[in-house]
Chain A
């Protein structure tokens, strides 16, 4: 497969932008990060409930 220079430049831009995105999320306030963790727990719990033959309820923290 032929890959031209523009494609490589675009990929580099995407990787740089992704890296920046993660680095910015790392700088969020701790309280905001905890809220995101709880959202991730809720999502994981929903996915787990939808899986066939899986009856485990994953813990979701109470914020307060």
Chain B
């Protein structure tokens, strides 16, 4: 795991990407109890004005030259299936920009903050996202004022209240 994170940090160090943050299931377990997940999702901001998909292709070429193999939508880095996702909307871009630094063993990593993860899950709104939002409310410590600000900014307040009504009635 740590070796994969070092490889991901190197992508930023070497200027292949402008910035990144861990999202998805692994970011989620940073805040709630462990859940079954198989991949490591990396949201990234492309370097310069490059198109996200073009960057993805050069990213894969770079990693393939280092001996890592693509597998469906992932690339296997040091035994971990990693999925690189160029930031595809303003919410994800802000989530990466405001992600917090932490560490895994001796390696510094950037993880999407809890308030942004809740907003992203409300935006994607798959059954597993709804379930995870509920777990966040029960198990994690997050800043309610910051969450409110994000939900208002990205028009997610109604969706959040709808889910809360369902949760409180159930």
Contacts and interface: CB of A to CB of B under 8 A. Distances in A.
Interface residues of A, number: 21
Interface in B1-34: 1-3, 26, 29-34
B30 A30 contact: yes
Interface SS majority for chain A: helix
Interface in A7-38: 19, 22-23, 25-26, 28, 30-31, 33-34, 36-37
Nearest to B33: A25
Given A31-B104, A33-B29, A41-B38, A62 B78 contact: yes
A19 B33 CA distance: 11
B138 A59 contact: no
Contacts of B89: none
A26 B33 CA distance: 4
Contact-residue size bin, chain B (C-beta under 8 Å from the other chain): 20 to 34
A17 B138 CA distance: 13
Contacts of A25: 33-34, 139
B80 A37 contact: no
B107 to A, nearest CB: 11
Contacts of A40: 34-36
A37 B37 contact: yes
A22 B102 CA distance: 23
Given A19-B138, A23-B139, A26-B32, A31 B78 contact: no
Given A23-B138, A41-B38, A62 B32 contact: no
B1 A34 contact: yes
Contacts of B34: 25, 28, 33-34, 36-37, 40
7 contacts: A22-B33, A30-B29, A33-B34, A34-B34, A34-B104, A37-B35, A40-B35
